[in-house]
Structure 1
Amino acid sequence: MANATVCMSEELYQILETLEKPEVRHSLQRLLEKLPNVEQTIESAENVVDFGKSVLTDDKTVDRYEQFVATYNVGSETITAIVQLMEKLPKLVQIIHQLENIIDFVTVVLQDKQTTDYTMNNLKSYADPYVEKGKTGLDFLKMVQQRAEEKPQHINVFSIVKWMKDPSVQKSLNYVQSALDILKEKN
């Protein structure tokens, strides 16, 4: 028993020695000052836990929750999809930020009359030659159609032989023959 008393007095001595340190005394003082707040926090947590227990034991509430969950298709596939979506959210947010920057840029550009005029003039300068070629081609087709309807001609073998001498017909037939040769080689 004397041995136990010596051990206890050594432990008590060590505790008193620790309590004599200024930082320990300061910490204990702050802890004692905050004890009422700690007690309120613990009581609040106990109230939340009690409320949770009450809700989980209330059959009416549990039935309503089960009906609510049953109306949605919340299975393992849905939960897996939600987790995968959550994993991809940082990348999606990054893409959305980039899209917002692009939209802001386009909005500013479209609101700037000088920039839109410059862009439209450049596009027009690139497109005009193609539009002109298209118009020329359409005019040519209209002229061919009009002449064919106004002056119908009787075509015979002699007319075709006469056409064969025309250099433009020869050139066109040369293109047709080359295309046929290339198709034959590919097959």
Structure 2
Amino acid sequence: MTNTAANLQANHEWMDELKRPEIQSALTNLIRQLPEIERTFHSMDQITQFSKYIFEDTATMKAFEQRFQLSRINEESFEALITLLGKHPILLQIIELMEQITLFIKNVVADEPSMEQLKASLLELPLINQRKEAKELIAAIQERKNSMDHSISIFTIMKWIKDPNVQNYLKYIQATLDVMQQKHDE
């Protein structure tokens, strides 16, 4: 009799759990995803069966072993691949930053007031004390810009990043982007 009472108590606790909205929502979502889960298990079963047949096929395994031995892939290559995969998040951040910088540069070049401000800033540089030198520098820059191909490769930008002057300007750009993002979020 006590066993039946314990079973009733356990069933009552389950019923109380099933009445909770988050449990009902989770069960509803799980039921909706059952066809996709079934397809996934079916696909995994097919992959497992295929792998089993491949491993049991001695001719295929011998051909694979022979090809693997002839290739230049070795333990060092696998370690390098794993190291490279580990660096993907950092590489992604660098590429995203470079995309932002490239977009910023394109927007500045396309924006006439920004180019005028850049020209005015160039005139204020300590290196350019005389007006004649400033005009010559601006004309040379303008001429070089017009003669250059309009596409800037990622490798060119990477070379630029090593220059201390460019790094200083990039700090200004990053600060500008941060302030603009902060203003946008407010």
- TM-score w.r.t. structure 2 length? 0.44
- TM-score w.r.t. structure 1 length? 0.43
Greater RCO between the two (CA within 8 Å, min separation 6)? 2
